[in-house]
């Protein structure tokens, strides 16, 4: 099944066009079901002082223009919190055939943070907190966010009771690598072998984020997608549970499990 949340986040990572009506769907962090819309009167962009000072340069070009923007976003549901977005403004080739240059707006922070995973409600608190930490910094520092995703995998191993250390020489405890913990999890619970492979892939992306400054938002979102799917496999309703429930409904011939033919008085 397609992960629509990740799809929306990937579109956001491409940046916002100048026309507010063309902004992509932005998921609401309050209800997790609605779409945030920009409030036109709140949208403000401005060129930085440094950028303006370069206009007199003999080689100046419109693509040198840089600045920032901010905007208030609201959900269609009136009970949801407003979200504020800030980011960078740049100028580049026009998207429209009759315009040479267009402004582009790249978000660097959403407050409150946008949701990252569809299975957030399934997560144990310690695991979910690390995912939330990644959500807060994803747009500003994707490499650091990838490290938080790796930390979520560690927390998941803790939740499933996978040991962190083993006895070493002279009785000293030796810390197990996350690779070893995932392998232990896979061996102990073979029914989650597929989830273990997803967690391992998310871990590798987290490793790169920890040691190299090469990840971009789409790279991290791929790791998030792996993690989200693993959560669903581990904490969600299993195919066996669904099969069992189907058999029970068939045995009751579709009647609710609270159904009774006895007169309730």
pLDDT at 14: 94
pLDDT of residue 153: 97
Which pLDDT score is estimated for 125?
Answer: 93
SS3 37: strand
Q: What share of the chain is helix, strand, coil (3-state, %, to 5)?
A: 50, 20, 35
Q: What is the pLDDT of residue 260?
A: 54
Provide the terminal-to-terminal Cα distance of the chain, rounded to the nearest Å.
47
Who contacts 76 (Cβ-Cβ below 8 Å, separation ≥6)?
34, 35, 37
Structure confidence by residue, pLDDT tens digits, 107-165: 999 999 999 999 998 899 999 999 999 999 999 999 999 999 999 999 999 999 999 98
Distance CA 60, CA 249 (A): 72
pLDDT computed for residue 242 by the predictor: 67
As a whole number of angstroms, the distance between CA 43 and CA 80 comes to: 19
Bridge partner list, 88: 68, 106
- Separation CA 72–CA 70 (nearest Å): 7
Instruction: Please tell me the predicted confidence (pLDDT) of residue 25.
Output: 95
Domains of the chain, by residue range, sit at 1-115, 118-244
Q: Which residues have C-beta within 8 Å of that of residue 32, sequence separation ≥ 6?
A: 115, 120
Report pTM. Answer: 0.85
Low-confidence ranges of the chain (pLDDT < 70): 1-2, 96-97, 238-243, 258-265
Give CA separation, 127 vs 34, 133, 151, 177, 228, in Å.
24, 10, 8, 18, 11
């Amino acid at each position: 099944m397609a992960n629509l949340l990740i799809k929306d986040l990937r579109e956001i990572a491409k940046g916002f066009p100048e026309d507010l009506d063309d902004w992509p769907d932005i998921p609401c962090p309050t209800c997790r079901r609605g779409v945030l819309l920009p409030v036109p009167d709140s949208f403000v962009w401005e060129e930085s002082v440094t950028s303006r000072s370069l206009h007199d340069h003999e080689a100046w070009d419109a693509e040198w223009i840089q600045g920032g923007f901010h905007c208030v976003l609201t959900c269609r549901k009136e009970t949801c919190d407003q979200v504020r977005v800030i980011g960078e403004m740049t100028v580049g080739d026009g998207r429209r055939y009759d315009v040479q240059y267009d402004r582009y707006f790249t978000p660097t922070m959403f407050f409150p943070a946008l949701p990252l995973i569809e299975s957030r409600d399934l997560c144990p608190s310690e695991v979910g907190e690390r995912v939330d930490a990644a959500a807060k910094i994803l747009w500003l520092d994707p490499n650091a966010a990838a490290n938080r995703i790796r930390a979520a995998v560690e927390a998941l191993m803790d939740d499933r009771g996978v040991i962190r250390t083993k006895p070493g020489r002279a009785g000293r405890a030796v810390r197990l690598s996350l690779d070893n913990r995932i392998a232990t999890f896979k061996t102990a619970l073979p029914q989650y072998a597929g989830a273990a492979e997803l967690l391992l892939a998310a871990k590798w992306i987290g490793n790169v984020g920890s040691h190299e400054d090469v990840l971009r938002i789409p790279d991290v979102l791929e790791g998030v997608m792996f993690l989200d799917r693993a959560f669903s496999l581990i904490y969600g309703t299993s195919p066996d549970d669904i099969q069992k429930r189907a058999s029970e409904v068939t045995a009751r011939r579709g009647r609710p499990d609270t159904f009774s033919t006895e007169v309730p008085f």
